[in-house]
Amino acid sequence: MNLPIIHHPNYVAPLPLGHRFPMPKFGKLYNLLLKDGIAQPDHVYQPQSLPIAWIEHVHEPDYVRSYCEGTLAPKAQRRIGLPWSPELVERTCFAVAGTVLTAQLALRHGLACNTVGGTHHAFPDYGSGFCIFNDLAIATRVVQSLGLAKTILIVDLDVHQGDGTAMIFQDDSTVFTFSMHCQINFPSRKQISDLDVPLAEGTEDEPYLQTLAQYLSDLLTQVNPDLVLYDAGVDTHVGDRLGKLALTDTGIFRREMQVLNTCLSQGYPVGCVIGGGYCQDFDSLAYRHSILHRAASNLFHQFRL
């Protein structure tokens, strides 16, 4: 058995012309994983089409319908930051379905990784910050509704606070939200996670990893989750256009090993999404995202999952 990796061809559907952050990184990431033997074709899972009812576990039906039909008000569309198209709707829904499948496979095998995901700025009735539907929240509600897990820990290490996720699960004792992010970065108005750890601009590898170590192991013991959902954003990288932190490739690899090893060694299954990453050098960006899958593949075999 190899590491379950979730990928769908529609993940790489092009965004409309004029989008200021084109994203060929998804296809490049998948091809790199295949080339380097991290992804094995017979262990790549394709999500099926997403039932609208799953999205409505989290999002208001009026918002879901307006977005999918392309009738969202212009102001609400601008807040998302992505120009609408039928292709983007399809890609978005498959990405959310992929995170749901990632959670299910993690519960079955101990560890699984999506090649997209981490849309943590989406709120129940609106999207924000390039995030349309909150895949982490939807996956949480789906596995709970199916009786596959009761308590979920969301570990969000994207450089931006997971504000939508924090708001969705406020006052919900079954879901613990942990966000470690750059203090001065987007969003300007933060929500309240169950645990927020804001970092100073320019934080480098060693203080970052030391800070993470102060919290993660104790948090697992405290929450005792049935499933960990891990948002492994690489916009923490020193070369990221939207970052403001200063992790290196080595620092990101150490972070992924630290998170996954801490969870797996204590017996907690982990479903991973790639989170944010913004760079004009898409080959370098794809490699940064692949670090998650490289670390996961290493530990999947080490723990004989």
Catalytic residue ranges: 121
The alpha helices in 266-302, defined as continuous H runs, are 282-302
Cα separation, 59 vs 57, whole angstroms: 6
Contact 24, 15 (CB under 8 A): no
Token couple for 236: 């923490």
CB contact at 8 A, 92 and 133: yes
CA pair distance 256, 231, nearest whole angstrom: 10
For the chain, state the CA radius of gyration: 17
**Contact yes or no for 134/59 (Cβ under 8 A):** yes
Burial of 242 (0-12, 13-18, 19+ CB in 10 A): middle
Annotate 127-186 with DSSP letters as a single string.
Answer: -BTTBSS-HHHHHHHHHHHTTS-S-EEEEE-SSS--HHHHHHTTT-TTEEEEEEEETTSS
d(CA 126, CA 59): 8
